[in-house]
Chain A
Amino acid sequence: MKVLVPVKRVIDYNVKPRVKMDGSGVDLANVKMSMNPFDEIAVEEAIRLKEKGVVTEIVAVSVGEAKAQETLRTALAMGADRAILVVSEGEVEPLGVAKLLAKIVEEEAPGLVILGKQAIDDDSNQTGQMLAALTGRPQGTFASKVEVEGDSVKVTREVDGGLETVSLKTPAIITTDLRLNEPRYASLPNIMKAKSKPLAQKTPADYGVDVTPRLKTLKVSEPPKRVAGVKVADVDELVAKLKAMGVAA
């Protein structure tokens, strides 16, 4: 079975985002960029399925600017077999990404598509569900466990009340939650090897997909700032504060 793993290049998890003074967006100049953490989990899951012998080939895909190549090389270094980069200099919304991925799914016919449940930049949490809709496939979102069983896949999902398990007919779409696995680091030899793995470059036009955004960002602003309050010296003072607030009797 082939697995498709879409990955996104985003601001690094440890960087605090700064809103640009002119309100046009978040300042990404000279900021460390990395693979979206949920997508790393997706790559890792695909590799584990390959190690178990369930999966035969892992194809990593990214939609974004030319620099997203680096993100794909990371996926290749972790263990993906080949990569496809759909180059688009402007921002592509989840709907546009899902449409491109649907075309790639048509060409590649993967048994599973595994992707992050959300990207930590736009926090949309849409692409996997949209891809499932456009390809008419079932979706196992927010996965914390994935078990392939013949022509179906059992997915345990993190939901508001705890965990839920669903069985999906393959081919299926899975989006990853935090606790599905802990992604590996690429070893130096594998990073070197990744440089010679195939990486195909495409454009949205190659797939006949219009990625014109439907949402116009009018402005981006900082949220209201909280200011640090007071420090209390001991528990008695804290108890007095709580009583004054009416929280404790």
Chain B
Amino acid sequence: MSVLVLVEHDNGSVKDATLAAVTAAGKLGEVHALVAGSGAQGAADAAAKIAGVAKVLLADDPAYANALPENVAPLVVDLMAGYDAFVAPATANGKNIAPRVAALLDVMQISEILSVESADTFTRPTYAGNAIATVQSSDAKKVITVRGTAFEKAAKEGGSAAVEAVAGKGDSGLSSFVGAEISKSERPELTSAKIIVSGGRALQNSENFHTIIEPLADKLGAAVGASRAAVDAGYVPNDYQVGQTGKIVAPEVYIAVGISGAIQHLAGMKDSKTIIAINKDEDAPIFQVADIGLVGDLFKVVPELAGKL
């Protein structure tokens, strides 16, 4: 079986989400990696070094600069004539493009797979991760997105694939990129951080996030996350959200501060290795999944903790 993997990149380098997708794809067959971008030779060279990638296809065109699905999906569909499966990381970008590809191929996509059971059978989470479904696809070609936390990352070095240029139809004329407001942070990225400190509605405001959560995160070299309630209330930007419809994380240590533990939040972090919960309500559901719990007022306890580390 031959598999085409969509590479998540910023034109210069490859993002980590790609590496788990390569591992998942490797369980199906020979992996070719598609870099669709503009001025993306750097990303293609980086993709060529990923262990397990046999070939890199580089579609370099201004039309692919911002990964507009109206432009990228037709490119993928044309390339899929030569492949049995299309695999994308379940990132905002992968989720945007893969279903468009699937529908054009008349294939029912298998979203956010957790495992590859065989060439046509996969497990995937449903109901906010409360029910794991094992599904078998009857489609001739497979279109799959991969949950990054469920697969080992392929090694970034070790491969030496050839890079081949490919061309697509370019600009569909249906959509255009206007701009982006990307959060800048010196901290590790949420989805690849080893430690995460997350705050909930109990933080009360944005300033408390800066003065309570961030110093602890900095002490631990941790990424900062948040519950939906904290994001909805405007304490932190949307890209901090951990949960069913936000980011799915599985760090070594997840510290939940002032988060009650709604099932939608648990869906995003319950595969963390160790969960630590700090909450003043001893009956908060978060304590039912926490390995270590501390009942107390976060405004006293968290600064004390940061001070003693």
Q: Taking beta carbons and an 8 Å cutoff, which residues of A are in contact with B?
A: 11, 13, 16-17, 19, 25-26, 38, 93-95, 98, 117-118, 120-134, 136-139, 141-142, 144, 154, 157-169, 177-179, 213-223, 226, 228-232, 234-236, 238-239, 241-242, 245, 247-248
How far is A117 from B139 in the complex, measured between Cα atoms in Å? Answer: 24
**A161 and B111 form a contact (CB under 8 A):** no
How far is A221 from B93 in the complex, measured between Cα atoms in Å? Answer: 29
Q: Is B5 an interface residue (CB 8 A)?
A: no
Interface size on B, residues (CB 8 A): 90
**A222 and B131 form a contact (CB under 8 A):** yes
Minimum distance in angstroms from B240 CB to a CB of chain A: 10
Q: A163-B180, A235-B301 are in contact. Are A19 and B96 (CB under 8 A)?
A: no
**B103 and A217 form a contact (CB under 8 A):** no
Q: Taking beta carbons and an 8 Å cutoff, which residues of B are in contact with A?
A: 66, 68-70, 73, 91-93, 95-104, 106-112, 121, 125-139, 172-183, 191, 195, 219-220, 228, 231-232, 237-239, 244-245, 247, 252-253, 263-264, 270, 274-276, 282, 287-296, 301, 304-305, 308-309
Which residues of A are found within 8 Å of B182, using beta-carbon distances? 161-163
Other-chain residue from A161, A169, A178, A231 in contact with B180 (beta carbon distance below 8 A): A161
Minimum distance in angstroms from A18 CB to a CB of chain B: 8
Minimum distance in angstroms from A213 CB to a CB of chain B: 7
Other-chain residue from B69, B125, B179, B228 in contact with A165 (beta carbon distance below 8 A): B179
Query: 4 tightest A-B contacts by CB?
Result: A129-B99, A229-B291, A130-B103, A214-B108
Q: Which residue of A lies closest to B252 (CB)?
A: A247
Minimum distance in angstroms from A234 CB to a CB of chain B: 8
Q: B interface, by DSSP: helix, strand, loop or mixed?
A: mixed
Which residues of A are found within 8 Å of B97, using beta-carbon distances? 129
Q: A218-B136, A231-B293 are in contact. Are A133 and B100 (CB under 8 A)?
A: yes
How far is A159 from B241 in the complex, measured between Cα atoms in Å? Answer: 11
Minimum distance in angstroms from A77 CB to a CB of chain B: 24
**A134 and B103 form a contact (CB under 8 A):** yes
Which residues of B are found within 8 Å of A137, using beta-carbon distances? 174
Which residues of A are found within 8 Å of B110, using beta-carbon distances? 215
**B131 and A17 form a contact (CB under 8 A):** yes
Which residues of B are found within 8 Å of A25, using beta-carbon distances? 131
Other-chain residue from B91, B107, B294 in contact with A95 (beta carbon distance below 8 A): B107
Q: Which residue of B lies closest to A213 (CB)?
A: B108
**A162 and B238 form a contact (CB under 8 A):** yes
Q: A133-B99, A231-B287 are in contact. Are A163 and B131 (CB under 8 A)?
A: no
A-B residue pairs in contact (CB < 8 Å), sample of 26: A17-B127, A93-B108, A94-B109, A118-B245, A123-B112, A127-B99, A138-B172, A138-B175, A139-B69, A141-B95, A142-B92, A158-B92, A160-B92, A160-B239, A164-B177, A164-B180, A214-B107, A216-B136, A218-B136, A226-B289, A229-B290, A232-B292, A232-B294, A235-B304, A247-B252, A248-B220
**B93 and A129 form a contact (CB under 8 A):** no
Which residues of B are found within 8 Å of A228, using beta-carbon distances? 287-290, 293
**A132 and B93 form a contact (CB under 8 A):** no
**B239 and A123 form a contact (CB under 8 A):** no
Other-chain residue from B133, B136, B309 in contact with A239 (beta carbon distance below 8 A): B309
**A122 and B126 form a contact (CB under 8 A):** yes
**A215 and B102 form a contact (CB under 8 A):** no
**B175 and A169 form a contact (CB under 8 A):** yes
Give the one of A93, A136, A238 with max B CB within 10 A. A238
Minimum distance in angstroms from B291 CB to a CB of chain A: 4
**B136 and A121 form a contact (CB under 8 A):** no
Which residues of A are found within 8 Å of B305, using beta-carbon distances? 235, 238-239
Which residues of B are found within 8 Å of A160, using beta-carbon distances? 91-93, 191, 239, 247
**B238 and A130 form a contact (CB under 8 A):** no
How far is A229 from B287 in the complex, measured between Cα atoms in Å? Answer: 8
Minimum distance in angstroms from B115 CB to a CB of chain A: 12
Minimum distance in angstroms from B247 CB to a CB of chain A: 7
Minimum distance in angstroms from A109 CB to a CB of chain B: 17
**A139 and B100 form a contact (CB under 8 A):** yes
Minimum distance in angstroms from B189 CB to a CB of chain A: 9
**B309 and A242 form a contact (CB under 8 A):** yes
**B276 and A124 form a contact (CB under 8 A):** no
**A121 and B99 form a contact (CB under 8 A):** no
**A120 and B128 form a contact (CB under 8 A):** yes
- Given contacts A17-B127, A229-B275, 4 further A-B pairs with CB under 8 A are A25-B131, A128-B99, A162-B183, A215-B110
**B95 and A133 form a contact (CB under 8 A):** no
Q: A26-B127, A166-B178, A247-B195 are in contact. Are A216 and B135 (CB under 8 A)?
A: yes
Which residues of B are found within 8 Å of A238, using beta-carbon distances? 276, 292, 294, 305
Which residues of A are found within 8 Å of B296, using beta-carbon distances? 234-235
Which residues of A are found within 8 Å of B295, using beta-carbon distances? 231
Give the one of B263, B287, B301 with max A CB within 10 A. B263
Q: Which residue of B lies closest to A175 (CB)?
A: B96
**B176 and A130 form a contact (CB under 8 A):** no
